[in-house]
Amino acid sequence: MQIAAFADEINREQLTRAVQLATRWGVGAVEIRSLPGGRFPRGTAEELHAAGRLITDAGLVVSGVSPGLFKCAVEDDEVTSGIAELLPRACEWACQWGTERVSIFGTGRGDSPHGSGQFPPQVVDTLGRMCDVALASGCRLVLENEAVCWGDTGAEAAALIRAVGSDRLTLCWDPGNSARAGAADTHAEYEDLADLVTHVHLKNFDAEAAAWSLLDSGVIDWSRQLHALTLNDYSGYLVIETHTATEPANVTPLSEAGEKLAPLEANTLRNLRHLRALLD
């Protein structure tokens, strides 16, 4: 298994700073979501070229890209234009940056209750069209389970993937998102979807506070999850997606090269250290 981190979960404003810290921390790969010019792949070609050069010159690779397609309703005009324009552009730049992995969402579920296990046929059709575009552009799509979308829990995302075809679409497994969507036992869920997992996002969720938490606290037992991934011979990326800039109470402030780290930077470093300890 290989460790990566979302660049914007190290520093949300400065890609240069995020890459610098990733390099210092020995993280060999970054995932790209938000850039100074906006959500990837928005922004000018010059901005995207510069971002790619910055990452490459630092000796890093790109573990995957997240263009945010789609969290709106499947009937929204944004879906049609996004498939026609943004998805091919995302694939083009992903390939230029040396990755074929593009994460997507199952479109917004609106007021549909969590855990229904049901999804509109139009969602399956739309994801299938997205897969066709990506494959034609040299990329592979991974569906991230996300609480506000169809495919909110791991179980529902797995059902969606199997409806589309697991030869065309695989799972970006995010147990923290599944817990937020109300999954009672993400470890039991994993046993039924392990064969679909090609990418993993790491964060944790404090159900009592209904808030994101560091990897070493919250409802996800990451030691148990990593063990299960090992048993299933998972060899892909483990991508740190901290999601919280709230530092735990009574912790020692963290510094880097004599400079105090910002809260999000410090939390991502704490998550990195915890992950490495679990993998040792």
The domain that holds 204 is classified in CATH as: 3.20.20.150
Cis peptide, bond prior to residue 175, ω within 30 of zero: no
Judge whether 171 and 145 are in contact, CB under 8 Å. Answer: yes
Q: Rounded CA gap, 122 and 210, in Å?
A: 31
Report pLDDT for 117: 75
Report pLDDT for 157: 97
Band of residue 105 on the pLDDT scale cut at 50, 70, 90: very high
Judge whether 11 and 17 are in contact, CB under 8 Å. Answer: yes
- Structural domain harbouring 144: 2-279
Report pLDDT for 256: 81
The pLDDT tens digits of the residues spanning 106-137 come to: 999 999 888 777 899 999 999 999 999 999 99
What's the rounded mean pLDDT across residues 74-100? 98
C-alpha distances in angstroms, 275 versus 113, 150, 162, 223? Answer: 33, 29, 30, 9
Handedness of CA 181, 184, 188, 192 (dihedral sign): negative
The answer on pLDDT for 220 being more than 90 is yes
| Mean pLDDT over each residue of the chain, to the nearest integer | 96
Report pLDDT for 259: 86
Band of residue 257 on the pLDDT scale cut at 50, 70, 90: confident
Band of residue 101 on the pLDDT scale cut at 50, 70, 90: very high
Band of residue 165 on the pLDDT scale cut at 50, 70, 90: very high
Number of domains in the chain: 1
What's the rounded mean pLDDT across residues 57-72? 98
Report pLDDT for 195: 98
Report pLDDT for 253: 87
